[in-house]
Amino acid sequence: MKSVTIRLFVLFVIACFAAVPSGRSAAGQRLAVTVDDYAYDAAQRCDPIPKPGVEMFRDVVLSRSPEFTNMGIYSCRSVRGGTALSLHAEGRAWDMGASAADPAELAAANDLVDALLAPDSTGAPHALARKIGLQEIIWNRRIWTSGSRERGGADIASMAPYTGTNSHTDHIHFGFNRSGAWALTSWWSTMDMSGFGGQRLRLVPLRS
């Protein structure tokens, strides 16, 4: 009787392992983490309503790093030096004031950008930027976009050179895709602050 019980137990264990998809371990199996796909939505018209995801991102950043300033969201205009409509025209971009000439502000702004472009624990690149729904970051003569041409590496040093007429040395431009702008990408369901740069994002004011 005892050996039958043992045999049944062994069959049960084998069945459990067989049910686990290949490539995964039965114990300590890591849950799949979804990082939003890269998306880029060009601006099509002037729409004076600042989008909620953009406003909330602005508020989160300024509440955690008050040394930065708010330089606005909506502006019905073309991109500087070009003819394409700016994301500001659709209320899908925020300009965050920071001076690249100030060493402390430069370091804090670089930390913020690095945190947005860093891979997550599964190695997914640009994880936080994708989860928030960012589609372009322009700062201090460098640019990252969710389009393949300027996607670059995992930190500010590997961002592509930005050669537009505005060097963006007094502010960071954060542009959002439509899902991110409407707070429909994955990050907005949790707004998990621990993923928002963690210790890499300075949490205290640089100036009293």
Please tell me the distance from the alpha carbon of residue 144 to that of residue 172, in angstroms, as a whole number. 11
> Residue 176 in contact with residue 146, Cβ under 8 Å?
no
Q: How far is the CB of 168 from Zn ion (least distance, A)?
A: 8
Cβ neighbours of residue 99 closer than 8 Å, sequence gap 6 or more: 105, 106, 169, 170
The smaller minimum CB distance to Zn ion, of residues 111 and 170, is found at 170
Choose between 93 and 100: whose C-beta lies nearer to Zn ion. 93
Closest residue to bound Zn ion by CB: 173
Q: Quick one: tokens of 120?
A: 């997550």
Q: What is the DSSP letter of 68?
A: S
Are the C-beta atoms of residues 40 and 147 closer than 8 Å to each other? Answer: yes
Residue 142's DSSP bridge partners are 139, 161
At closest approach, how far in Å is the CB of 15 from Zn ion? 58
In the complex, the residues that contact Zn ion under the rule CB under 5 A are: 93, 95, 173
In angstroms, what is the minimal distance from the CB of 86 to Zn ion?
A: 7
Alpha-helical (H) ranges within 65-120 are 103-117
Instruction: Supply the minimum distance, in Å, between the C-beta of residue 83 and Zn ion.
Output: 16
- What minimum distance in Å lies between the beta carbon of 76 and Zn ion? 13
Nearer to Zn ion, 67 or 95 (CB): 95
The residue with tokens 């000439």 is 101
Choice between 90 and 95, CB closer to Zn ion: 95
Measured from the CB atom, is 95 or 105 closer to Zn ion?
Answer: 95
DSSP 82: S
